[in-house]
Amino acid sequence: MTMVAALSTTLTVGASTPAQAAGNCPTGLTWHRIDPNQRQWVAWQYAINSVKSEFLVSEERVVSNGTDREITGSFTSSVSKTFSLTYSAGSSASLFGFLSANVSASITQSTTTTTGVTATAPVPPHGRVIGQYGVEAYNVDVTKNEYRSIHAPPEEGGICYPARSTPGTSIAPTNRTGWRVIPG
């Protein structure tokens, strides 16, 4: 039996200021040539604004107790559902490595819940509990910063400048699945 505790943690991460290269661009970026004729280069860097724990529900069950004594409620999963990493401002594939390195190593590209997993919980007299089966995840508010360089990458004497910042959100599932039992 796997029991997952309710998640309510919020982590706010301040954007750090990395060392700057010529022209106000961070060092350590990976540059990509985008226009061989005009000799333009581009690089991206993510910045985490906030992280909030989430629980992605694949199914929900309710046990009601109409008696004057406590009973034990039992929940068994019967739905298999896949939760995938999403990113509202671009490719989730490019964000995956950054999130797994900076938020949690348990983040996956996708996680599928299984069937047949059972959990039990006490149900108070004349009360009810709700069993939710699903996946722990993170809701990440992230900004993708784009930098441009002309003539060459900054390390080779190019002129670098910040091009744009694109805010976005990501729902990042983890490899942790299980039941969450809450009062009903």
121-142 per-position pLDDT tens digit: 999 999 999 999 999 999 999 9
Q: Do 44 and 31 touch, CB atoms closer than 8 A?
A: no
In the Cβ-directed half-sphere of 175, how many Cα atoms lie within 13 Å? 6
Q: What is the mean pLDDT of residues 107-116?
A: 96
pLDDT of residue 17: 38
Task: Give the angle 19-171-90 at the CA atoms, nearest 5°.
Answer: 60
Q: Look at residue 120 and tell me whether its pLDDT is greater than 80.
A: yes
pLDDT of residue 127: 97
Query: How would residue 23 be classed by pLDDT, with cut points 50, 70 and 90?
Result: low
Largest CA distance in the chain: 81
Q: Look up the pTM and report it.
A: 0.79
Q: What is the mean pLDDT of residues 56-74?
A: 97
pLDDT of residue 37: 81
Question: How long a stretch of residues is the chain?
Answer: 184
Query: How would residue 21 be classed by pLDDT, with cut points 50, 70 and 90?
Result: very low
Rounded Cα–Cα distance for residues 69 and 155 (Å): 73
Q: Look at residue 55 and tell me whether its pLDDT is greater than 80.
A: yes
